[in-house]
Amino acid sequence: MRMRKLFAGVVAAATMLGGLALGASTANAADGEVTITVNNAQAGHTYTPYQFATFGAPQQVDGKTYVEVKVADEAWNTALETALTTSTAAQGQPSNALVTKGTDGKYTAGAQDVSSYSSNWAAYVATLTPAQLRQFAALLTAPTGTQASGAALTPSEEQQGTSQNITTAGEGWYLVTDSYKSGDTAVFGLNAIVATSINGVTGDFVTGDEQTGQGNITALGAFNAKNENIPTVDKTVADAANPNVDFNGQTVKIGQKLSFAVKGYIPSTASGYDSYPYYIKDVASKGLTVNNGVEVYASDDANLDTAADTLLPANAYTLVGPTVQNDTTTLTEVSFTDAKSYAGKYIFVTYTATVNADVLENANKVTNEAQVSRDNQNWSDPKKTENDTLSFEFTKTNKDGSEKLEGATFSIKDGQTALRFVALATKGEYRLATSDDTNTVNVVTSPASGKIVVKGLAAGTYTVTEETAPAGYSSTFKPTFTVTIAKGQAQVLTETGSVKYGLVDSVKNEVHNVKNVSELPLTGAAGTALFTVIGLLLAGAAATVALKSRETKRALRA
């Protein structure tokens, strides 16, 4: 059996270039325990170690470590030979197998006779170039019935993206498989070929293969997980006037400006790649006007701080959009051809958008979805924000509700702010106006149906004042009332003012008018109002009588 003496750094470099990590040794998890570290471990993946070769007779020469590499057993030698002699070329194309077995039983690699390695193919594997080792790693499978050489590792959701240790059977060269579930189907990702520490020796450094994401690996017994889960994304919305308060699920009004932030993460292992593409897309629903001024930040932590975080220059990424699509959604795309310089950082895409009148045609809500991708094909599950607009309504009637009244006008305030409106196609329906609207009105008018509907509002309490009574009805007894609206709750009408006439029916959502004082209620606050009016009338009559009495006395003296 041919035993190949190897400089550990050479073995490491070869393995790294094959998509697996080798270099300086890692610390053992416990005395006598040899581990392999999986960087950027992926939740739900199972990493299983299989030892296919052992290291023996380590020697230190001029600060460098030399070892002998020996295949684990005949079954593994056969598995290594199969991987080396299998072609991956397309049908009809010349074979690209790393080793060819001739009819005479000899093995050749190009013009070189490599038959002497046939009893220990592990030693030959250590001579492969980076490209060759990548091909070998992809083709190698454990012999049928082979048990794991140590404990398989399955990271939890909490361990996603962290470094986790696989406990092995001892020092040596390992095939580490990566399996995971896609739906109900078991999937095997790219293999890793990893050497453990060598007799506890440290200090042998190599440069890893950037094509396989191992460029930042410099230590034996570690590799970067090659099969990444689809990255995750987060999305937040806030009122532009108060951007630090989460506004998802809250109500909004037409004309309100919202701030949006999309958050992605570039794993620290991205620095090991020759390039690390990263894609972000954001879709704002109908009812949102996305404003110009998209900004992209890199942050050391998961919380955006525009004052402290790094605002990336426009040439650091490619921005497409915001673009209004045929379905009236707005697409914004940010892409990095290489995000490796942001390894270990969070990427935030921020912009503002204004709620527009189209929200009324989108089930009175605006939504926003964001996704991220590594390859622009497999996208994360969308993260969605949603905000609703509300409305209120009431019907103008006579005192007993039997007749709907047309022509009454009402002004509406939000706090101390008088609101303006745009009349909609259906008579009696209005929406909140914005500063860009023309043909606005400062009062809403009841139609023949008596029903007034006001749309595009946020939750709150609005003050409604009747300004003009319908024709034929008293202009003295006009109610003022509030309407309180909240998401998922029935509106509440409450008559207000120093004098309440009992003309607001909060059960039927009706607002009444009377033709004269005799129609006012005689009980409760409304009754008090009536007696106040009668008192004023009587006081007026008494003053008239007194005046006439004085005039009569003067006449008698004359």
pLDDT score recorded for residue 455:
98
**Would you say 100 and 137 are in contact if contact means Cβ atoms under 8 Å apart?**
no
Q: Count CA within 13 A, CB hemisphere, residue 150.
A: 27
Give the pLDDT band of residue 495 (cuts 50, 70, 90).
Answer: very high
Question: Which of 68-72, 505-509, 526-530 shows the lowest per-residue confidence on average (mean pLDDT)?
Answer: 526-530
pLDDT score recorded for residue 56:
82
Q: What is the pLDDT of residues 218-263, one digit of tens each?
A: 667 888 888 888 889 999 999 998 888 899 999 999 999 999 999 9
pLDDT score recorded for residue 25:
38
pLDDT score recorded for residue 362:
97
Q: Rounded CA gap, 284 and 292, in Å?
A: 13
**Would you say 154 and 117 are in contact if contact means Cβ atoms under 8 Å apart?**
no
Amino acid at 465: T
Question: Which of 165-169, 234-238, 241-245, 539-543 shows the lowest per-residue confidence on average (mean pLDDT)?
Answer: 539-543
Q: What rounded mean pLDDT belongs to the chain? A: 86
Average pLDDT of the segment spanning 387-410: 97
Exposure letters 428-454 (e unless 16+ CB within 10 A, then b): bbbbbbbeeeeeeeebbbbbeebbbbb
pLDDT score recorded for residue 209:
63
CATH classification number, 232-387, choose in 1.20.1070.10, 3.40.190.10, 2.60.40.740, 1.10.10.10: 2.60.40.740
pLDDT score recorded for residue 67:
79
| CATH fold label, 390-519 | Immunoglobulin-like (2.60.40)
Question: Which of 105-109, 452-456, 547-551 shows the lowest per-residue confidence on average (mean pLDDT)?
Answer: 547-551
Question: Which of 28-37, 421-430, 504-513, 544-553 shows the lowest per-residue confidence on average (mean pLDDT)?
Answer: 544-553
What percent of the chain is predicted at pLDDT more than 70? Answer: 83
H-type alpha helices, 6-129: 8-17, 74-85, 121-125
Q: What is the pLDDT of residues 13-42, one digit of tens each?
A: 333 323 333 333 334 444 568 999 998 898
Average pLDDT of the segment spanning 374-385: 94
